[in-house]
Structure 1
Amino acid sequence: MSIREDFEERERRFMSPHGCLSSRSRGRVRPEPLRSIRTAFQLDRDRIVFSNAFRRMKYKTQVFLSPLGDQYRTRLTHTLEVAHIARTIARAMYLNEDLAEAIALGHDLGHTPFGHGGETALKEIFSHSFAHNEQSLRVVDFLENQGLGLNLTYEVRDGILKHSKGYGKIIPDDPEDAPCTAEGQIVRIADIMAYLNHDLEDAMRSRVIHESQVPEFCVRVLGRTHSDRATAMMRDLIFSSRVEDDRLILSNSQEVHDAMAELRRFLYDNVYRSPKVHKEFVKAKKILSELYAFYLENPSQLERELLNLEMRNLMNNGQPYERVVCDFIASMTDRYAMNLYSRLFFPSPLV
Structure 2
Amino acid sequence: MAERGWQLSALPPTGPRDGGLAPYALQAHQTRGRRHPEPGAPTRDAFQRDRDRIVHSTAFRRLVYKTQVFLNHEGDLFRTRLTHSLEVAQLARSLARGLRLNEDLVETVALAHDLGHTPFGHAGQDALNHCMREHGGFEHNLQSLRVVDLLEHRYPDFDGLNLSFETREGILKHCSQANALALEAAEPGGVASRFLDGREASLEAQLCNLADSIAYNAHDIDDGVRSGLLALEAVREVPLFRIHCDAALADHPQLQGRRLLYEAIRRMLSTQVYDVLSSSWQAISSQAPQSPEAARRTRHLVRFSEAMQADSTELKRFLFRHLYRHPQVTEMTDKAKRIVADLFALYLARPAEMRPSFAERPDRARAVADYIAGMTDRFACAEHERLTGQRLLAQRV
TM bucket (normalised to shorter chain) is 0.7 to 0.9
Q: For residues 137 and 347 of structure 1, do their structure 2 counterparts lie closer, same or farther at Cα, with a shift above 3 Å needed?
A: closer
Instruction: Return the match for 2:167 from 136, 150, 156.
Output: 156
Q: Do structure 1's residue 342 and structure 2's residue 372 form an aligned pair?
A: no
Q: Do structure 1's residue 210 and structure 2's residue 236 form an aligned pair?
A: no
**What amino acid is the match of 1:234?**
V
Q: For residues 164 and 221 of structure 1, do their structure 2 counterparts lie closer, same or farther at Cα, with a shift above 3 Å needed?
A: farther
**What amino acid is the match of 1:219?**
F
List per-residue Cα deviations over 1:56-106 (Å, max 9, x = no partner): 000000000122111100011011101111011001111100000000000
Q: For residues 347 and 101 of structure 1, do their structure 2 counterparts lie closer, same or farther at Cα, with a shift above 3 Å needed?
A: closer
What's 2:4 paired with? none
Instruction: Return the match for 2:61 from 38, 55, 62.
Output: 55
Residues 146-155 or 270-279, more deviating: 146-155
Cα deviation, residue 299, structure 1 = 1.9
Instruction: Return the match for 2:337 from 285, 290, 293.
Output: 285
Secondary structure at the aligned position of 1:109 is classed as: coil
- Detail structure 1 runs of 4+ shifted over 3 Å in the superposition: 10-13, 174-179, 220-224, 314-317
What's 2:76 paired with? 70
What's 1:294 paired with? 346
Q: For residues 135 and 338 of structure 1, do their structure 2 counterparts lie closer, same or farther at Cα, with a shift above 3 Å needed?
A: same
Secondary structure at the aligned position of 1:14 is classed as: coil
What's 2:304 paired with? 252
Instruction: Return the match for 2:221 from 188, 195, 200.
Output: 200
Q: For residues 205 and 49 of structure 1, do their structure 2 counterparts lie closer, same or farther at Cα, with a shift above 3 Å needed?
A: same
Query: 1:65, 1:164 → 2: CA distance?
Result: 26
Q: For residues 275 and 26 of structure 1, do their structure 2 counterparts lie closer, same or farther at Cα, with a shift above 3 Å needed?
A: same
Instruction: Return the match for 1:129 from 114, 137, 152.
Output: 137
> Is the Cα–Cα contact under 8 Å of residues 11 and 21 in structure 1 kept in the other structure?
no
Q: How does 1:23-172 map to 2 (within 5 A)?
A: 23-127=29-133, 129-145=137-153, 148-162=159-173
> Is the Cα–Cα contact under 8 Å of residues 163 and 185 in structure 1 kept in the other structure?
no
What's 1:322 paired with? 365
Q: For residues 343 and 192 of structure 1, do their structure 2 counterparts lie closer, same or farther at Cα, with a shift above 3 Å needed?
A: same
> Is the Cα–Cα contact under 8 Å of residues 222 and 256 in structure 1 kept in the other structure?
no
**What amino acid is the match of 1:159?**
G
Instruction: Return the match for 2:375 from 326, 332, 336.
Output: 332
CA RMSD between the two structures: 2.5
Secondary structure at the aligned position of 1:342 is classed as: helix
Q: For residues 212 and 63 of structure 1, do their structure 2 counterparts lie closer, same or farther at Cα, with a shift above 3 Å needed?
A: same
> Is the Cα–Cα contact under 8 Å of residues 57 and 333 in structure 1 kept in the other structure?
yes
Cα deviation, residue 163, structure 1 = 6.0
Q: How does 1:235-246 map to 2 (within 5 A)?
A: 235-241=274-280, 242-243=283-284, 244-246=286-288
> Could you state the TM-score of these two structures normalised by the residue count of structure 1?
0.86
Q: For residues 151 and 332 of structure 1, do their structure 2 counterparts lie closer, same or farther at Cα, with a shift above 3 Å needed?
A: same
Query: 1:316, 1:290 → 2: CA distance?
Result: 20
Q: Do structure 1's residue 274 and structure 2's residue 285 form an aligned pair?
A: no
**Which structure would you say has the larger RCO, counting Cα contacts within 8 Å and 6 or more residues apart?**
2
Cα deviation, residue 37, structure 1 = 0.7
> Is the Cα–Cα contact under 8 Å of residues 238 and 314 in structure 2 kept in the other structure?
no
